[in-house]
Amino acid sequence: MSLRFNALNRLSQTSAEQVEGTTKITAIFGENVFDLKKARQYLSDEAYKSLLGSIRAGQKIQRNVANQIANGIRAWAESKGVTHYTHWFQPLTGTTAEKHDSFFTLKGDGTPIEEFEGDALIQQEPDASSFPSGGIRATFEARGYTAWDPSSPPFIMHIGPGKTLCIPTIFISYTGESLDYKAPLLKAVEALNKAAVDVCNYFDKNISKVSATLGWEQEYFVIDEALFNARPDLVMCGRTVFGHNSAKNQQLEDHYFGSIPERVYAFMRDFEEECYKLGIPLRTRHNEVAPAQFECAPIYEEINLAVDHNTLLVDIMGRVSARHKLRVLLHEKPFAGINGSGKHNNWSMATDTGINLLAPGKTPKTNLMFLTFFVNTIKAVHDYADVLRASIASAPNDYRLGANEAPPAIISVFIGQYLSKVLEDVKERVSEKFDEQDESMLKIDIHKSIPELLMDNTDRNRTSPFAFTGNKFEFRAVGSSANCANPMTVLNTIVAQTLRQFKEDVDRLIDRGEKKEIAIMHVIREYIVASEKILFEGDGYSEAWEKEAEKRGLPNLKTTPLALDAMVTDKAKILFDSNGVYSHTELEARHEIELEKYIKKVQIESRIMGELATSHVLPPSIRYQNLLAKNINGLKAIGMDESAYSNQKQILDKISEHINKASDLVEKMIEARKICNAIEDSRTRAIAYQSQVKDAFFDQIRYHVDKLELLVDDKEWYLPKYREMLFLR
């Protein structure tokens, strides 16, 4: 019996796992995290103060104090039955990595003891040779080290019965280049902090720190494990390369907010509980538009922590789903013809005085502050739309962007009717002659219309890649499998850059004798005018928008290899270098890594396509072809009239045609791959893979295979069908 039928049999016998579940989230929230409350409990005053200084203000921790902190963390971890620790980091492979060491060691005289020194907390040297470095380590030896990030608290991971203390770290080369996602994010956050505090101080001298905030919304599919295992394409590339649409898809739109099937519900409660223990503040869970698609979202947090929590969540979902004999699919487009998955990044900036800088204020003065940060963000996206586009470019996201369900590859900003009017208003009223007599100009009474403003945003912004949603921007083009750190590093950097420029521009006017508020209004007006073309309120899915965007001169890069170019332009190099986020070497290295990732992904898909066509699709098709041929021959032999087998003949013709075309195309695709592989330059090779392999063959081969799926006897077909993966409970 084929794997498919085994899986289907097994499926009918699988019922939902029993999950105990807590009734009170607060009772378990953060129990596996060394948060400040536990730090207070386990650390001396000196150590606690030092840790706090490091978290709040990035102060350096002295070595002897680090020893105390390490001891405190160990004491807490041991009280929870932990024996091992690891530096936990986010290499550019897109997963997380760790290397476990035990607290156990032998003293010089052979006495066994448990210890965790400050040195081990602060720094480690994992075997770095298997992580991508884009050539950086090749030039500077194959070494890298991980370094403690005190701003993200240590936590305990439960894997089966094992418990490991995880220390969040950055991963850098010996010469200091970042080799991970976290180090650049921390740098970008710092750049934003400096630039934003400077601008905040125009309005409020008490503000001394600005943090970026992030609330992600994670979309994912869940399917049965046995069916998953019977689909080598899902196993190898997370996406079905073949599969005909089922009779029922999402036309009925009955899945959205629908009832959550019992097995999935049990799985959700289970992984949510692990998340709560790790301090991940999950709030919402619901079904998505597509069948078998779901979403979860937490309460937003400081951005570095939010990114760590998202990568942790992905880990946890993978592990917990296995317990429920389910598989989570994080690919941006696991199923053709059905909505893909994204990871909306809700982003804002918060001050240490408790103000959300993207929330319209209650007074004219705070409104001016809101308007400043609002307009600066729009200007940043306008000026660096290409870099932002590059930050979300990946092989899987190419399947999703612009697929009439996800934002287009054209970066634009949606702000809603009300704020559009406000910006228009500012533009018209703040003329060149605008001066102190026009104090009324400053009275932008946005706060009176907040309800109107929020309502305004519920409608069309769904089709926008970057939408203002009342008190935050929502970057929706981010792919479901992406690490948020990359797009967030870029967003924070471009806003930092724009705010720095803003301060210069305002100061120049102040130096010329303009009153501060007036100068600010003038520069805001200038920025509104300069970035108007990025604003779009219409339907981002429409063809009309593509045309309009082209007229406006907005880039529309649909493929990753070309979109990535924006990472290494002179403009990008100056941007990242002057904000202390990436050196030129680091940018070049990352560009190289992204291209290689792209090539590998397309290559793997292409291989699996060829292999499946040959070993999974053709055999049952040929058998059925034989059966039909025999049948026709038999009917002929006993002297039946042609009309008796004309239908069989028609099916046979079609099957034969699709078999021939599919196998012919597979051969040609293999040849095309060989040509691509011989190309030295990685950018040229990536473009070749995209145009000569992916675009030239994938859809065509799939067309013939999917036709065969419809024609061939169902009981002969090896690969689980869409309806089975998506609709069976």
- Our finding on whether 343 is near Mg ion (CB under 5 A) is no
Minimum CB distance to Mg ion, residue 283 (Å): 12
- Range in contact with Mg ion (rule: CB under 5 A) among 133-141, 257-265, 341-349, 409-417: 341-349
Choose among 451, 390, 422, 364: nearest CA to 587: 390
The CB density around residue 401, as the number of other CB atoms within 10 Å, is 27
* CB-side neighbour CA atoms (13 Å) of 45: 0
- Range in contact with Mg ion (rule: CB under 5 A) among 221-229, 340-348, 421-429, 518-526: 340-348
Q: Rounded distance, CA 132 to CA 95, Å?
A: 12
What number of chain residues touch ligand ADP (CB under 6 A)?
Answer: 15
**Per the structure block, which two tokens stand in for 65?**
């104090």
Q: Rounded distance, CA 461 to CA 218, Å?
A: 18
Minimum CB distance to Mg ion, residue 504 (Å): 34
Minimum CB distance to ligand ADP, residue 277 (Å): 20
- Range in contact with ligand ADP (rule: CB under 6 A) among 248-256, 372-380, 469-477, 535-543: 469-477
- Our finding on whether 299 is near ligand ADP (CB under 6 A) is yes
- Our finding on whether 472 is near ligand ADP (CB under 6 A) is yes
622: enclosing H helix or E strand: helix 618-637
In terms of phi and psi (left: phi > 0; alpha: psi -120 to 50; beta: otherwise), the region of 160 is left
Rounded to whole angstroms, the maximal C-alpha distance in the chain is: 106
**Per the structure block, which two tokens stand in for 108?**
């010089």
Out of ligand ADP, Mg ion, none, which partner does residue 213 contact, by CB within 5 to 8 A per kind? ligand ADP
Minimum CB distance to Mg ion, residue 343 (Å): 10
Scanning residues 372 to 411, which ones bind Mg ion (CB under 5 A)?
Answer: none
CB-nearer residue toward ligand ADP: 213 or 376: 213
Residue 190 burial by CB count (10 A; 0-12/13-18/19+): exposed, middle or buried?
middle
User: Binder to ligand ADP among 202, 294, 300, 576 (CB under 6 A)?
Assistant: 300
In the bound complex, which residue of the shown chain has the CB atom lying closest to ligand ADP? Answer: 215
- Range in contact with Mg ion (rule: CB under 5 A) among 164-172, 202-210, 339-347, 642-650: 339-347
- Range in contact with Mg ion (rule: CB under 5 A) among 281-289, 342-350, 544-552, 591-599: 342-350
**Count of H-run helices and E-run strands, the chain:** 28, 17
Q: Rounded distance, CA 455 to CA 144, Å?
A: 50
* Residues paired with 164 in a beta bridge: 84, 157
Minimum CB distance to ligand ADP, residue 330 (Å): 18
Choose among 530, 399, 389: nearest CA to 465: 389
Q: Rounded distance, CA 534 to CA 440, Å?
A: 29
Choose among 308, 296, 305, 301: nearest CA to 270: 296
Out of Mg ion, ligand ADP, none, which partner does residue 464 contact, by CB within 5 to 8 A per kind? none
**Per the structure block, which two tokens stand in for 235?**
């196993």
- Range in contact with ligand ADP (rule: CB under 6 A) among 96-104, 296-304, 361-369, 395-403: 296-304
- Our finding on whether 525 is near Mg ion (CB under 5 A) is no
Scanning residues 342 to 361, which ones bind ligand ADP (CB under 6 A)?
Answer: 346-348, 356
Scanning residues 65 to 124, which ones bind ligand ADP (CB under 6 A)?
Answer: none
Minimum CB distance to ligand ADP, residue 119 (Å): 36
185 — phi, psi (to 5°)?
-60, -45
Minimum CB distance to ligand ADP, residue 365 (Å): 20
Minimum CB distance to ligand ADP, residue 340 (Å): 17
Q: Rounded distance, CA 341 to CA 335, Å?
A: 10
DSSP 719: S
Minimum CB distance to ligand ADP, residue 1 (Å): 44
**Per the structure block, which two tokens stand in for 351?**
């001050």
Out of ligand ADP, Mg ion, none, which partner does residue 297 contact, by CB within 5 to 8 A per kind? ligand ADP
- Range in contact with Mg ion (rule: CB under 5 A) among 45-53, 336-344, 636-644, 659-667: 336-344
Q: What three-state secondary structure class fits 170?
A: strand
User: Binder to ligand ADP among 215, 291, 342, 465 (CB under 6 A)?
Assistant: 215
- Range in contact with Mg ion (rule: CB under 5 A) among 326-334, 338-346, 444-452, 635-643: 338-346
Length of the chain: 729
CB-nearer residue toward ligand ADP: 347 or 717: 347
CB-nearer residue toward ligand ADP: 14 or 356: 356
Question: Alpha helix (H) ranges present in 569-645?
Answer: 570-578, 584-612, 618-637
- Our finding on whether 344 is near Mg ion (CB under 5 A) is yes
Identity of the amino acid at 129: S
Out of Mg ion, ligand ADP, none, which partner does residue 137 contact, by CB within 5 to 8 A per kind? none
Binding mask 185-214 for ligand ADP (x = CB under 6 A): ----------------------------xx
**Per the structure block, which two tokens stand in for 669?**
């695709």
- Our finding on whether 366 is near ligand ADP (CB under 6 A) is no
Minimum CB distance to Mg ion, residue 315 (Å): 23
- Range in contact with Mg ion (rule: CB under 5 A) among 337-345, 388-396, 591-599, 656-664: 337-345
User: Binder to ligand ADP among 471, 569, 583, 692 (CB under 6 A)?
Assistant: 471
Between β-strands 112-114 and 84-88, what pairing exists: parallel, antiparallel or unpaired?
unpaired
Between β-strands 210-224 and 343-351, what pairing exists: parallel, antiparallel or unpaired?
antiparallel
Minimum CB distance to ligand ADP, residue 313 (Å): 12
Residues with Cβ < 8 Å from 663, sequence gap 6 or more? 613, 614, 618
Q: Are 412 and 537 in contact (CB under 8 A)?
A: no
Identity of the amino acid at 723: R
Provide the strand spans (E) within 307-445.
Answer: 326-329, 343-351, 413-414
The CB density around residue 367, as the number of other CB atoms within 10 Å, is 20
- Our finding on whether 461 is near ligand ADP (CB under 6 A) is no
Q: Interface with ligand ADP by CB under 6 A: which residues?
A: 213-215, 217, 297-300, 346-348, 356, 469, 471-472
Residue ranges binding Mg ion (CB under 5 A)? 344
